[in-house]
Structure 1
Amino acid sequence: MEKVKTQALVKVGFLSATAFILMYLEFQVPLFPGFLKLDLSDIPALVASFAIGPLYGVMVELIKNILHATITQSGGIGEIANFTVGAIFVATAGLIYHLNKTRKTALIAMAVATLVMSVSASLLNYYVFLPLYQKVMGFPMDAIIGMGKMANKRIVDLKTLIAYGIFPFNLLKGFVISAITFLIYKKISPLFKA
């Protein structure tokens, strides 16, 4: 039992380091505000969630964000948001997948997790994270909305920022992360299964 836990923690460490590195490979997606950048750092967490268990996927999300918090310019708010939304995504997918470990269940799990993440990210940004940026970082909401409007003219207030920025961005992010994970998981999963 102790050997299994140690092996799982080593795998989590490796996947966390990989996720941390992948956070640096971010790029902006046209039509979305500049502060929304797509990176692939949720892939290792999703692999951990499927191969070892949902709790381990959440651990990968936590460790990568703790590491990133040491070099952040977001006052830690970006890392808290990244962790929360990423943890919701990988935990949801992992919990569903572990009910019946098949390819079909994996697809369903990732689709449901993408939708849950997108709705959660929208609500959390509307009620928590964007107001927190405004309060803690002194970043005016008008400036945040202005960044959105530069990318998409339909963004004119906080509600449209959520509707045309945050929600569709997270749908796209979930789809990309899910598609890549689906393509590579079968090949790499023997390395990480507990």
Structure 2
Amino acid sequence: MKKNSAVRIATIGIMSALATGLMFLEFPIFPSVNFLKFDPSDILPLLAGFIFGPIDGILVLLIKDILFFLLKSGDIVGIAMNFAAGASFLLPAIYIYRIRKNRAFEIIGYVVGVVVVAGVMTVLNMIVVPLYWKIPLQETLKYLPIIAAFNAIKFSIDAVVTSLIRERIARIFEN
């Protein structure tokens, strides 16, 4: 597929809109920390990244977060954290897959992506939560295992779903 084709641009727009809609399907995995909500919206940026490349995946991620911010959230910190989480999962997964485009490297990419997102979001939450909620770091440290587990679970689910549909969706865009 040509890099600047109308189909690619339209697909990015459609995937962004669908991902925004999927952000509305949110529910907490751990009821004790209901600000951490699972939604399947990161599947579409991941698919866009696999099909068109990492820049397009990040573009879908950015557009869906901006649209969700404008339509519902109004919480710039939450949206920025959502973007950071999605990017820290998506980029390792896609770049590792691009080394050798086979199932083994796809799975390795998912595993590395899950580890990276869990680590990145744990560190970011250590910095952001005390400042944003104005609570002591000691209080924040209590939540870090739950935050790491949440991100590992959320992005593992996204990886499993993506792995089940990626090849079928990618075939649609082959010439």
Scaled by the length of structure 2, what TM-score is found? 0.90
Corresponding residue number in structure 1 for 2:81? 81
Alignment partner, residue 4 of structure 1: 3
Note the aligned Cα RMSD (angstroms). 2.1
Deviates more, 1:25-34 or 1:83-92: 25-34
Per-residue deviation, residues 125-162 of structure 1 (Å, max 9, x unmatched): 111x313422xxxxx427xx9xxxxxxxxxx8211211
Instruction: Identify the structure with the greater helix proportion.
Output: 2
Q: 1:73 to 1:190 in 2, by over 3 A?
A: same
Question: Which structure has more RCO (C-alpha within 8 Å, separation ≥ 6)?
Answer: 1
| 1:159 corresponds to which of 127, 141, 155 | 141
C-alpha spacing 1:74/1:87, structure 2 compared with 1 (3 Å): same
What's the CA shift string for 1:2-52, capped at 9, x where partnerless? x53133222211111111011011112135510011000000011011111
Residue 164 of structure 2 is matched in structure 1 by 183
Alignment of 1:132-147 (within 5 A): 132-134=131-133, 140-141=134-135
CA spacing shift, 1:190–1:95, aligned 2, 3 Å: same
- Number of residue pairs matched? 174
Distance 1:118 1:94 in 2: 17
How far 1:112 moved relative to its partner?
A: 0.4
The 8 Å contact of residues 11 and 192 in structure 1, kept in 2 or not, is answered as no
Who is 1:52 aligned against?
52
Work out the CA distance in 2 between the residues paired with 1:94 and 1:23.
22
Give the structure 2 partner of residue 170 of structure 1: 151
What are the ranges of 5 or more consecutive residues in structure 1 without an aligned counterpart?
135-139, 146-155
| Partners of 2:16 and 2:44 within 8 A in 1 | yes
Q: Percent identity?
A: 33
- Give the Cα separation in 2 of the matches to 1:113 and 1:162: 18
Q: Distance in 2 between matches of 1:88 and 1:126?
A: 16
Aligned equivalent of 1:137: none
